[in-house]
Amino acid sequence: MITTKKYVITIVVLVLLCGATFGLGLNMGAKGYVYQGHNFQIINQNNAPKNVDYNLLWQALDILNQNYIDKPVDQQKILYGAVQGAIAAVGDPYTEFFDPTAYKDFETSLSGSFEGIGAEVTLNNGAVQIVSTLDGSPAKQAGLLAGDYILKIDGQDATKMTLDEAVNKIRGPKGTQVHLTILRGSQQKDITITRNTINVASVKYSTINKNGKTFEDINILEFGDDTVNLFAQAATDAQSKHVSGIILDLRDDPGGYLDDAVKIASYWVNKGDVVVSEAHSDGTTQTYTALGNNVLHDIPTVVLINGGTASAAEILSGALRDHGFAKLIGEKSFGKGSVQQLFNLPDNTAMKVTIAKWLTPNGQNLNHNGLDPDIKVALTAENIKNNQDPQMDAAVAQLLK
């Protein structure tokens, strides 16, 4: 039996999270594919120019089983490898297969508790790149930054690894170490990180007092299992304190559940107005609209974004800006605007497939493009070293206006 779950994933596989989640359903017949005959041919009924004869696969496996020097060949491993290779052949880093171990890691990705280094990675032009690091994580404490490229993992060339291979080598139990060689700009650097258990609430909030005014600083780290409830608490806190403004900090937020982004946008956006649209390859579009309860719509708001702001975080940012509820401050967002659907497969395996692209209410395609800030403010390594945050300073200054 094949089941599906709807959610927006961030940036594929995380080193300590395994990130994200999305939506659709799978019916091979409905999509135009049918199995025919004993030769296991798959016929594409959507005007494909030719059939695919899977006899090649069976013949290759037969030759392998008969001739490979180390016997017996692990047939389960061969099966997983064949499925993984077939899915990887489409060339999309967000479309992937999970064997039972990888699927277990993936299922815990948004639970808020995991072991690892606390960094999310993606493939950028074939190279493993840091997307974001979690506050208080070993990766953050070791000095890893969004945008760093990983050249070596424990001395092995990471540029020749798949994303899964790199993640599996970086990930590991609490107390063990991983040695990374990174490229930052034109400089190489060796970093040793001790893995740990990481427990992170997905929403943190506090108040900022400036020039006699009080602002609510709401930081969403990811859109996970606890996000909506924690955000509701933050919104209640802001209302009870009659704050003069809200700073919604989505920097280094890799995304997560689509429903979370829609529900949180609904705290500002009028009921029935579009939060995001899902454009499919067949020309159809599905829209997700605000649910009501927009109790924050009269409170001036700014949103902080950077290169680690992705997926559901970009959906929320784009919705608030397009509807005129917030200005975006910081740096260009990541540009993860494609939609993945998770399909549960037999034997505790699963696959994730890109099935659509996200559009903001004004029709901007988020995929690869990202969101440009209304007020561009850089945050440099020197700023971080000196415990400075010019982006937060710009947000406060904007609200003071």
Q: What is the pLDDT of residue 16?
A: 33
Q: What is the pLDDT of residue 23?
A: 28
Q: What is the pLDDT of residue 111?
A: 58
Q: Radius of gyration (Cα) for the chain, nearest Å? A: 23
311 belongs to the catalytic site: yes
Q: What is the pLDDT of residue 146?
A: 86
The tokens for 153 are 């993992």
Same domain, 298 and 316: yes
pLDDT tens-place string over residues 345-400: 999 999 989 888 999 999 999 887 899 999 999 998 788 778 899 999 999 999 99
Catalytic annotation, pick one of 132, 202, 266, 311 = 311
pLDDT tens-place string over residues 279-309: 987 889 999 999 998 999 999 999 999 999 9
Number of domains in the chain: 2
| Contact (CB, 8 A) for 172 and 154 | no
Residue 373 lies in a domain: yes
Three-class SS of residue 339? Answer: strand
| Contact (CB, 8 A) for 353 and 311 | no
Catalytic annotation, pick one of 322, 327, 333, 338 = 322
**φ, ψ for residue 226 (rounded to 5)?**
-100, 0
Same domain, 233 and 358: yes
Q: Which domain holds residue 232?
A: 201-337+350-400
| Contact (CB, 8 A) for 394 and 304 | no
CA distances from 77 to 84, 123, 262, 324 (A): 10, 24, 40, 52
266 belongs to the catalytic site: no
Residue 108 banded pLDDT, cuts 50, 70, 90: low
| Contact (CB, 8 A) for 11 and 254 | yes
The tokens for 241 are 């304190």
Name the more confident of 108 and 178.
178
CATH value at residue 265: 3.90.226.10
Residue 52 lies in a domain: no
Q: What is the pLDDT of residue 47?
A: 53
336 belongs to the catalytic site: yes
- Poorest-pLDDT segment among 174-178, 197-201, 220-224: 197-201
Q: Which helix (H) or strand (E) holds 399?
A: helix 390-400
Q: What is the pLDDT of residue 110?
A: 53
How far is residue 272's CA from residue 262's CA, in Å, rounded to a whole number? 11
Please state at what angle helix 75-88 crosses helix 55-67, rounded to 10 degrees: 140
Catalytic annotation, pick one of 263, 336, 338, 352 = 336
Alpha-helix runs per DSSP H in 49-162: 55-67, 75-88, 100-107, 138-142
Same domain, 249 and 328: yes
